[in-house]
Structure 1
């Protein structure tokens, strides 16, 4: 073989560099294409939470009535949307796992891993909070049973009044003191607790733990990338914060006062438009609630239960015989809300557990990618 001349060596070196540049350009174009697809997926899934699938007037009305924002079924759809986006996020990372160890993602990955741990704590608190909603449901059922007695007696009204008193105080007490109690589990213990206790809350948080402070800590370092471009990690982190914030707003959680904060979502980004709209609508409800009576728990069924409970309490305080027909409609509506809770709360709790396990898996996969990308 003829020896490589200096000219040939220079040519081969330039050719190699050019191939590297072309390869980098191709990879960059592929990453941009994947990012665009990911953003479209996010926009579509969260837009579905605001707009019904059909455009007919009848369907619009039916959908609005069956799944209003912050209702149990709507919250389950929110969790499904997030799970779908998180799955897409993992696909994007898997395509080019080395990117998470290079600038600028290398700086954002540790923040995201920490954010996931905080989200796991929130999932634990929300599962416990759903148990407190079940307790409210039981109190409402006691009141319904008492009011349906015929003829309605003084004793039945007193029994209903006791249940209503506990019901109307439950939301405020949970928001200020806690949906769960006991010692603070380690992260590992919390993760395994969901698997061990399929029927219960799974894990506890300490008395000093605060849902509001946890959300604030998750948003503290959530800053949009420079140049106006979004990275997959920034997008999924923003969605995680928004979903966790919405869950804490909807379900009575420990120390959830002070959640009326503006989440740092980029309004100018297409993927964030629907998420911003959801945040604004939930925020309006939250401000009205805090001005009225404070506390947490904006789940649509709970708000209806509270309104009806106040009416029934007023009736019980001024009860006179032969007046039971005055509250027949309210009693029937309360009974209907209890049925919805009976059917939906278990599914909601199961959905939160699924998000919990997905985040645990996601965190483990990211850590594994980091280990494999090290030289």
Structure 2
């Protein structure tokens, strides 16, 4: 469902009163009829409630916090928590997971998650691009900040050169979204096992990790974030009533995780610079699932943010990217208009702008490294979960 079709952007306090989902009512009738159903029912209801709570937490963010480095970090934390809980449910009910139709659904989720690995690699490169912009801002800060008594023409020339380089770098990224694709790196030590290829060609790079193989170890210059999101979201539909009955209700958490995976990867692509960003992902989530209400509300808010005039052509919706652009634009205009020697009033204005640059640099310094570690953890956790899941599904005798 496109975000513009969903009208659920009410305040988060009202989201909790949306009502009970079809999943809760229908599954209760199904699960009560089987032996031990009450335990499974409790696990499934608990999982759904935890997902709802986590996305309510995310949706409670105000305009100044949404899509900030800290918010994206929280999003990834919640994704990892949902995935661990989902994995625990499957491990506790291996017998059902090994039988149709659930075996096919779980395998399909693992294959979707593999497609998310390229997104993680692309996002890591986007983070590296932001670091390059941070370094240019730090040059401006070093040239015009500090404790020097006065700011001279030489300092302004150095700052101006860094600002020009920054403007060119951000413009290139908007135009092509491919400025760092040739430097892509995979996460982890297994990079050493990669068979070396010429980094100047456009071929995909591949690597193996046990019996696991990603679609590619790094994204090529022709890779598209929009197409990858489409691939992750293809044929993601709510389970049919017959599938819920046959799986003892376990088809629903698989659908929930498919939806969460798509949303998280979509939000990362929205926030961080990467190749061929496209935000028209198709969400086929019924509005009457309680967990879907805050998720779809966030989807709409982010999509609406992308349509604002000042953000429409941004290389990423991350709050800190917007701050970089604002600071750089203001400082550039100031640098173009100053005359030397500076008047006391003009120098005070310069130092005020420098302080704003300093605050942006501090935010990037504090937030980029933790975010990269979280993206790396998401990458490794997806690999590990898929490997463990395939091992488990491939050994029926271990089912409980």
TM-score range, shorter chain: 0.7 to 0.9
Paired residue for 2:334? 315
Deviation, structure 1 residue 293? 5.3
Paired residue for 1:84? 81
Contact 1:189–1:203, Cα closer than 8 Å, also in 2: no
d(CA) in 1 for partners of 2:227, 2:314: 15
Paired residue for 1:56? none
Answer with 227-236 or 270-279: which moved more: 227-236
The alignment's TM-score, normalised by the length of structure 2, stands at: 0.75
d(CA) in 1 for partners of 2:33, 2:86: 22
Paired residue for 1:163? 162
Which of 225, 232, 236 is 1:218 aligned to? 232
Paired residue for 1:281? 301
Answer with 268-277 or 344-353: which moved more: 268-277
Greater helix content:
1
Structure 1 runs of 4+ with >4 Å offset: 21-24, 189-193, 227-230
- Residue 41 of structure 1 pairs with residue 50 of structure 2: yes
| Structure 2 residue matching 1:49: 3-state secondary structure | helix
Which of 137, 141, 159 is 1:140 aligned to? 137
- Residue 235 of structure 1 pairs with residue 228 of structure 2: no
d(CA) in 1 for partners of 2:211, 2:363: 29
Deviation, structure 1 residue 304? 1.1
Q: Where does structure 1 lack aligned partners over 5 or more consecutive residues?
A: 1-20, 53-63, 194-201
Deviation, structure 1 residue 362? 0.9
Aligned length, in residue pairs: 333
Paired residue for 1:12? none
d(CA) in 1 for partners of 2:255, 2:212: 28
d(CA) in 1 for partners of 2:267, 2:236: 17
Paired residue for 2:291? 271
Q: Structure 1 residues 187, 69: CA separation in 2 closer, same or farther (over 3 Å shift)?
A: farther
- Residue 368 of structure 1 pairs with residue 365 of structure 2: no
- Residue 302 of structure 1 pairs with residue 321 of structure 2: yes
Deviation, structure 1 residue 27? 4.3
Contact 1:143–1:163, Cα closer than 8 Å, also in 2: yes
User: RMSD in angstroms over aligned alpha carbons?
Assistant: 3.0
Deviation, structure 1 residue 370? 1.7
1:260-281: CA deviations, max 9, x gaps?
Answer: 4453333221112222122122
Answer with 150-159 or 302-311: which moved more: 150-159
Q: Highest CA radius of gyration, 1 or 2? A: 1
Paired residue for 1:338? 361
Q: Structure 1 residues 188, 74: CA separation in 2 closer, same or farther (over 3 Å shift)?
A: same
Bigger RCO of structures 1 and 2 (CA < 8 A, at least 6 apart): 2
Paired residue for 1:26? 35
Q: Where does structure 2 lack aligned partners over 5 or more consecutive residues?
A: 1-29, 183-198, 245-250
Which of 109, 118, 122 is 2:119 aligned to? 122
Paired residue for 2:181? 180
The alignment's TM-score, normalised by the length of structure 1, stands at: 0.80
